[in-house]
Every structure is written in C-alpha cells, then in structure tokens.
Structure 1
Amino acid sequence: MSDTVNKPKLSFWQMWNLSFGFLGVQFGFALQNANISRILSNFGADLHSLSIFWLVAPTVGLIVQPLVGASSDKTWNRMGRRSPFIFFGAIAATLGMMLLPNASLAVKIMPPLLFGALMFALMDTSFNVTFQPFRSLVADMLPDEQRNAGYSIQSFLINIGAVLGSALPYILTNWLGVANVAPDGEVADSVIWSFYIGGATLLLSVLWTVFKTKEYPPEQYNKYNKVEEESSEEEKMSFWQTLMSMPKVMFQLAIVQFFSWFALFLMWVYSTPAISQHIWNTAIGDSSSEAYNEAGNWVGILFAAYSVFAALFSLVMDKIANTIGRKRTYMYALIAGGLGYISIYFIQNEYALIISMAGVGIAWAAILAMPYAILSKELPSSKMGVYMGLFNITVVVPQIVSGLVAGLILKYVFHGEAIYSLMLAGAFMLLAGLSVNFVRESK
C-alpha cells in the first residue's frame, strides 16, 4: 500500500476553471429548455403531446450518464480522466444546436417534427455526456472542505450560462430587431441565431476548461484519494452489486430529487403555454400567434431571471451551508421554490412574475449544488464517476414519470389550462423541501 497524502487545496481561479465549461453547456441547455416546446409546436406538435417529446431528455440521461460515469472512472489518457468526455460531448452538442432550429430544411428527407425530435435527442445525449464528468471533476480535484465552495462556484457559472441562454432570443428581438415570428413550420430568426451563438459559446467555454485544468495523473490521484485502499474490493463488484452497495444517503436524497425534478420538468414543459394563457390571454392550443411568441420570449426572460437569482444565491450558499448546514440550506431553498411557483397563479402582470422567479432561482441553485456536496463525501473515489452517474437516475426518473402523466393531467384534470401545471409544480417542490428531513449525513 502506498503512502497517502492530503489532497491539496485549489485557488479560487483553479476552481473557476474546473467548472467554466459548464457555463457554455448550461447556455445551450437553457436555450433548449426555454425554446424546445416553442420549436416543436412550430413544427406541428400538439400541446398535450409536448411532454412526450420532452421524455427524450430524461430517457437519454437514464442510459447515458451511468455509462459515461463508469467509463470515465477507468479512462486515463493525455487529455485526462473526465476531460475527453466533456470535450467530445461538447462537439456533438454544438452540432445538434446548429441543426435543430433548421429542421424545416430537412423536409425532403423526413418530416420537420421528426428531424427536430432527433436533433433534440442528439443535443440532450451530448449534454448528458458532459454533465456527469463535470460533477465528478469537482469531486476528483477538491478536498472535502472545499466542495461546498467548488459546487457553489459551479452553480454560479451554470446560472450565468442559463441567464445568457434564456434571455438571448428576447435580446435579439427587442434590442437588435431580429425577426421573432416565422411562417408555420419554420422557426423564428431570433431563435435560430440564438442557437448558433449558444453552440459557439458552449464549445469555446468547454475548451477553456479542458486546456486550463490539469487533472491528476493516476499515481498522484490514487495517493490523494486513497484509491488502493478502496479499489481491491470495489473493482470486483458487478454493476448490480455496485447499484445495491450505494450509500443510504443516495436513496434518501432520491426522495428529494423525485419531488424537485418532477416540479422542474413541469416548469420547463408548460411555462410558455401557461404564461401565454395566464398573462397574454391566448387561447388553449394557440402556438403560432404573435401573442404566443411574445409570451415565449418573456418566458426566456423569466428563465434568465431565476438563473440570475440562482447565481446570486450561489455566491452566499457556501457561507450559509457552512453556518446552518447543508441540509437546512437545501430544505429552505426548496420551500422558497415551491412558494415561487404557487405565487405565479396570483400575479396578472408579466413584470411581477420576476418576483416569483426569486424563489425558483434559490431552489435551482440549491438543487445544482447541495445534493452533490452531500453525496460526494459519502462515495469511494475509485467509483466516483459511476456513482454520480447512477445518482442521475434520481434526476431522470421523476422527469420520465412527469412526462408520462403531465399531459394526461393537463388534458383531463386541468382541461388545457397550463397555469395549474405550475401550481402542481409548486406543491411538489414544497414536498421536496419537507423530504430533506429524511436525509441523514454522516458526521
């Protein structure tokens, strides 16, 4: 057994470089979240079937992230351990972003709706390839006492990217005069150019992380993380044994994750129809009027707003968590998110909706950081990637469940009034906050 040494602390800028690529990845992911319902509706998707198309994302994540996690645990080459997956995932995501809004050009090959769904699948697969290695990279490189700070910086960068991505179509339309309405079956120029800019930003920011971050070579990594002490038994475990050997805290966090990600999925799918009906008074099923497109742009601003609040909360989340604990920070943040969703129903002015986004943003910042900070302390370093990948099951399963039932609930319970889907999201986020009480951290 080799001697073990303490993992060195990193400077602020080294921690910044670790996660800077996530800014670009989230830029693209935010563009997708704010505009995919709008794009697919332009290509002919029915309001009640939108949640089915959105199932592409979590289903891909369910398959891809555990595989990427297990593979990255065993990958050591000149680029590093996690960097190859981050780099090639970003290239594929950029390609999908360039092609998705131009699906109407593929009409001679296949229906635009089908092509759009395929490009959506390519984008989301690529995003999933990059997400998990970024999470593991922070755990790989930072000692436990810096992980609150590391994941808070990551949350901050994620939300800066989300602000830029969410607001870009609105900025192009209202500041630069780019067309925001397109004929049926096509996508507005404001959205097309947003995806072009987003793809370039994604690739450049990921290159920054890849070239600015030097991962520890195997021998050094093993000393810092005491891998030899763990790996003799860990390496003999099958995938099923690995799954069954997950620490209890992962199962406890899964309850919280179910409620919170069920709520987030409802927001991403139904915010545009909900806000257009509730504030702009559009008809149920309207997906092409000027009012609907104006509401779609405003939803981008609201998504940018909650990302701004999330970024600001990320700046103090580390200090709050160190003062009152990770669990309490997580719980209070999720409750704030639930109240934010519910308040939307009582607001009739689009500008006042920004107040609701404060609670949503606080919850989002905590969701991006706290479960990973809690979990990373409990995981063996030799299987950090595969366990982080398996933990993604707790992110995608609630989205799949939400996707399967949300359309039926909207149609048969809410009779097409999408504002009630956001109210349901609020109830689930409150349940997520209360369920944090079941999480038990080790001392």
Structure 2
Amino acid sequence: MTLKSVFENPKLTITQIINMSVGFFGIQFGWDLQRANMARIYENLGANPDQVPLLFLAAPLTGLLVQPVIGYLSDRTWHPTWGRRRPYFFVGALVSSIALIFMPHSSALWMAAGLLWVLDVFGNITMEPFRAFVTDKLPDSQVNRGFIMQSMMIGLGGSIASSLPWLMNNVFHLTNTAEKGNIPENVKLSFYIGAFFFFASVLWTIFTSKEYPPQDADKDKTKNKTGLAGGIKEIFGALADMPRRMKIVSLIQFFTWPGLFLLWFYYTTAVAVNVFGGKDASDPVYAAGADFGSLTLAYYSVVTFLFALILPKIADLLGRKATHALCLACGALGIISVAWVHDKNMLFLCMTGVGIAWASILSMPYAMLSGSLPKDKIGVYMGIFNFFIVLPEIIASLGFGWLMKNILNNDRILAVQLGGVLMILAAVLCYILIKEPKNTDAVLTSRLEIEENRSL
C-alpha cells in the first residue's frame, strides 16, 4: 500500500463536513425522544419496572440483525444520482418519522413495543451508513473531525429532543399527566416535532452532500449478484477476520454501553421516584420528576455538543486511548453519583460527566478504528462493530428484569449505579489494552495500523 492510497479522498471544507453530518441531528432527535420517554410511556401503559428492559429488546435485536446487512448492501450499492449510502438514509428516515408520529397514540404495551421495533429497524437503516459515510468521504487527517462533528450534531439533537416534554409543559403549558393507558399531551407533541426534524435533517444531508463513485462501479454492481447467502457468508468471514485493533475496541464497547443502557432504561423514572418522591405515572409529582429527568438528559447532550468542540485538541494532546479512558471515567462518576443526589439541581453536575463521556463514546472508538479497516468493507465492519454495542443490551434486556425483581428489589437507582461500575471497567480496559505510537502524526499512525492488521 502506498502513501498516496491513504490520502485518496480530498479534504473537505468545514461547511461540507457540517452538511454531511446534519442528518445525524435528526437521527439523534428520534433516538433521544425514545430514550427519554419510552420507559415513561411503558409505565403509563401499565408496565412494571422489571418489565421495562424486555420491552426495550427491539433496539438491540434490530441493530444486531439489520446493521451488518445494511452495511453489506450499502457497500455494494451505487446509483449515479443517489450514490451509495444516501438511498438508505432516505428510506430509513421516512419510515422512522412515520413511526414517531404514531408512537404517542399507542393504546397498549404491545402497540408501543411494536412501533419501537419499527422505529429501531428503520433508525438503524438510516444510522449505520452514516458511520461509513465519514470514512467514504474524508481523508484520515479529517476522520477525527468528521466523527466529532457527528458527535456535535448528536449532542445538539439530543439536547433539544430530551428537553421537549419539559418545554411543552413549562413554556407551552401542555399537560404532563395522563390516566393509565394514555400518553400525556406534552409527550405527544414532542414526538410530532421529532418526526419533522428527523426527516428534514436527513433530507438536508441527502441534497447537500455528494458521494464519490467507487473505483470500479461496474464491478461493485456485480457484487450485488452474490445474493443474501453470499452476503451472510461475507459478514461471517469479516467477523472471523476482524483486525486486532477492532477486537480490542469492541471489548471496550461491550462494557461501555451497558452503563448507557441502564441509564436510559431507568434514569427518568428513577428521578421521578427516588429524587422527587413520585408514586406512579398518574401522580403529578412523578410527572414533574420525569420531565425534570428529561431536562437533565437534554443538558448532558448540551455538554456533549460543547465538549465535542475541544475534544479534537484533547485527543491530539493526550492521544485517543487516554482521552477516551478519561472521558469514560468522568461518565462513570456522573452515573454512580446520581444515587447521592438530594437536591434535584445536583443532577446537572452528574450529567456533566455523562455528557463528556457521550462525546467521546460517539467519536473516539471510531477514530481508533481509523486506518485499520479495509476500504471496500467499511459498511460491513461498521455493522459488525455494532454487535458489541447491542449484545450487552440484549443480555440486559433478557436478564436484567430478573435481576431487577429478585436482587435489586426494583430499585431504579441501583440499576443506574451498576451501569456506572461497568463503565469504569471499560475505562480501565481502554487504557491498558489500546496501544498507540507516541509522537507520531496521523499518516504514520494510520499506516502502522494498516500494516499491523494486514500481517494478522
């Protein structure tokens, strides 16, 4: 491999990088609406706390099955007008937006869980090609900034989405309580707004960002003829041949994400019950607590947005592994300390740590993979990388309900704290296992990673 091949993509302007990342603003808008409100919707529809993890099973299962397949297909897609990744952006965003509109009209648990499944399937169809989009379009010297720009869009979208129920109640005075079996009006309008931003943001990226044709477009078209069986074979082959760097980063991901899942499963309802003292979903105190919990989740997304502005400088100074380990430690401390809060405003301090960690989680693992993945299989490998995000969520969804009921006595705060402990473990693994050349520029680092993985 020549030095020239490492820099086959031209550098993009900051405006071009923003345009190609705007779609992630909308995608995250959809994800954060469900993360901040699905537990509340489920409990409004009659679910117990120990049932919530199982009801979230849609997200990891769809990610496990959909993302590698979509990655494989998008690697082999090319249209002279629509490109490679953008057809998947469009279809996924359209159906996800429709699911967001219907979600707050769920009248039973099965309906809400089914719509969540649809939302997660097509949300994954939209999101997975976005990760490959960065590597498709940017040279290695701009990859850090490409993923960090996505982190900024994620932080911005998440902050607005998570704060919407609070804003709808406190600014526009929509009711935040509902009888059992109904969804509060402030949550309903939040989902309608989310549907608009999801679709509009993805359309912005589709119409402002072009894609480079593959080196041999005709050859890429013939690859599609291998069919589903050939795709499955290639996915399993790629899984068996994972580069060494990817194996290590995947292990770190495996212990990072349970901390986030348990936070999303239980945080807003834990604030409603443990901090505010609410009783159930029909209690105004519980509703106020859940709205405030969503507001603090919005705050951590603001922290993510702002911290992403300085994260490239920190990574350049400390290196990717030290930066990521330190950020994970900040997130773990923030998650664990939720249990010690008696003044509701202290939750903003807790969420500051989470926001710092979230900015790094959304960028540093992908940056650490930069240069170690074969260019013609980026989509497949990004889908496989997602295995190590969704597998722990599947384990949590299937098994944590029993743990919640029989060991933790349905204490939501203890569940959140356990996630923080797992994030500490991820930080330790990152710092010990990741090896980085010191005082080496991005070109040499990328080349060393490529040569290392070619030799395995």
TM normalised by structure 1 equals 0.92
The answer to whether 1:164 aligns with 2:160 is yes
Amino acid at match of 2:93: A
Aligned to 1:126: 122
Superposed, 1:257-336 pairs within 5 Å as 257-283=253-279, 286-336=280-330
Aligned to 1:147: 143
Q: Could you list the per-position Cα deviations for residues 334-385 of structure 1 after superposition, in whole angstroms to 9, with x for gaps in the alignment?
A: 0000111111111101111100001101111111001111113210110000
Superposed, 1:13-52 pairs within 5 Å as 13-52=15-54
Aligned to 1:202: 198
Instruction: Tell me how far apart the structure 2 counterparts of residues 388 and 357 of structure 1 sit (CA, whole Å).
Output: 28
Instruction: Tell me how far apart the structure 2 counterparts of residues 309 and 240 of structure 1 sit (CA, whole Å).
Output: 38
After superposition, the Cα gap between the structure-2 partners of 1:52 and 1:235, relative to the gap in structure 1 and judged at 3 Å, is closer
The answer to whether 1:439 aligns with 2:434 is yes
Aligned to 1:353: 347
Aligned to 2:244: 248
Amino acid at match of 2:88: F
The answer to whether 1:341 aligns with 2:373 is no
In 2, are the aligned partners of 1:277 and 1:417 still within 8 Å (CA)?
no
Give the secondary structure class of the aligned counterpart of 1:355: helix
Aligned to 2:11: 9
Instruction: Tell me how far apart the structure 2 counterparts of residues 440 and 387 of structure 1 sit (CA, whole Å).
Output: 21
Q: CA deviation at 1:6?
A: 3.2
The answer to whether 1:174 aligns with 2:177 is no
In terms of mean alpha carbon deviation, does 36-45 or 326-335 score higher? 36-45
Q: Could you list the per-position Cα deviations for residues 22-79 of structure 1 after superposition, in whole angstroms to 9, with x for gaps in the alignment?
A: 0011011100100001111111222210000011111110000000000000000121
Root-mean-square deviation over aligned CA pairs: 2.0
Amino acid at match of 2:8: N
One of 40, 57, 64 as aligned partner of 1:55: 57
Q: CA deviation at 1:221?
A: 9.0
After superposition, the Cα gap between the structure-2 partners of 1:235 and 1:114, relative to the gap in structure 1 and judged at 3 Å, is closer
Instruction: Tell me how far apart the structure 2 counterparts of residues 402 and 333 of structure 1 sit (CA, whole Å).
Output: 23
After superposition, the Cα gap between the structure-2 partners of 1:382 and 1:291, relative to the gap in structure 1 and judged at 3 Å, is same
Give the secondary structure class of the aligned counterpart of 1:118: helix
Q: Could you list the per-position Cα deviations for residues 239-292 of structure 1 after superposition, in whole angstroms to 9, with x for gaps in the alignment?
A: 322211110111111221111111111000011231122211234xx2331111
Aligned to 1:109: none
Instruction: Tell me how far apart the structure 1 counterparts of residues 349 and 29 of structure 2 sit (CA, whole Å).
Output: 23
Amino acid at match of 2:35: N
In terms of mean alpha carbon deviation, does 80-89 or 288-297 score higher? 288-297
After superposition, the Cα gap between the structure-2 partners of 1:210 and 1:220, relative to the gap in structure 1 and judged at 3 Å, is farther
After superposition, the Cα gap between the structure-2 partners of 1:304 and 1:6, relative to the gap in structure 1 and judged at 3 Å, is same
**Structure 2: runs of 5+ lacking an equivalent:** 219-229, 437-444, 449-456
The answer to whether 1:189 aligns with 2:164 is no
In terms of mean alpha carbon deviation, does 206-215 or 423-432 score higher? 423-432
In terms of mean alpha carbon deviation, does 404-413 or 301-310 score higher? 404-413
Instruction: Tell me how far apart the structure 1 counterparts of residues 232 and 266 of structure 2 sit (CA, whole Å).
Output: 45
One of 385, 400, 404 as aligned partner of 2:398: 404
In 2, are the aligned partners of 1:42 and 1:184 still within 8 Å (CA)?
yes
Instruction: Tell me how far apart the structure 2 counterparts of residues 190 and 163 of structure 1 sit (CA, whole Å).
Output: 16
One of 99, 103, 106 as aligned partner of 2:102: 99
Amino acid at match of 2:365: P
Q: Could you list the per-position Cα deviations for residues 119-156 of structure 1 after superposition, in whole angstroms to 9, with x for gaps in the alignment?
A: 11011111111111110000100000101111111100
After superposition, the Cα gap between the structure-2 partners of 1:235 and 1:53, relative to the gap in structure 1 and judged at 3 Å, is closer
In 1, are the aligned partners of 2:128 and 2:382 still within 8 Å (CA)?
yes
Aligned to 1:82: 85
How many residues in Structure 1 have an aligned counterpart in Structure 2? 423
Q: CA deviation at 1:236?
A: 12
The answer to whether 1:69 aligns with 2:71 is yes
Give the secondary structure class of the aligned counterpart of 1:160: helix
Instruction: Tell me how far apart the structure 2 counterparts of residues 413 and 369 of structure 1 sit (CA, whole Å).
Output: 35
After superposition, the Cα gap between the structure-2 partners of 1:168 and 1:221, relative to the gap in structure 1 and judged at 3 Å, is farther
Give the secondary structure class of the aligned counterpart of 1:129: helix
The answer to whether 1:370 aligns with 2:364 is yes
Amino acid at match of 2:110: L
The answer to whether 1:389 aligns with 2:392 is no
After superposition, the Cα gap between the structure-2 partners of 1:296 and 1:241, relative to the gap in structure 1 and judged at 3 Å, is same
Give the secondary structure class of the aligned counterpart of 2:278: coil
One of 353, 374, 388 as aligned partner of 1:380: 374
In 2, are the aligned partners of 1:252 and 1:440 still within 8 Å (CA)?
no
Superposed, 1:421-440 pairs within 5 Å as 421-436=415-430, 437-440=432-435
Q: CA deviation at 1:322?
A: 1.3
In 1, are the aligned partners of 2:180 and 2:281 still within 8 Å (CA)?
no
Amino acid at match of 2:354: V
Q: Could you list the per-position Cα deviations for residues 391-416 of structure 1 after superposition, in whole angstroms to 9, with x for gaps in the alignment?
A: 00011001111222222222222212
Amino acid at match of 1:240: F
In 1, are the aligned partners of 2:67 and 2:384 still within 8 Å (CA)?
yes
Q: CA deviation at 1:439?
A: 2.3
Amino acid at match of 1:80: G
Give the secondary structure class of the aligned counterpart of 1:57: helix
Instruction: Tell me how far apart the structure 1 counterparts of residues 120 and 423 of structure 2 sit (CA, whole Å).
Output: 24
In terms of mean alpha carbon deviation, does 416-425 or 193-202 score higher? 416-425
Amino acid at match of 2:86: S
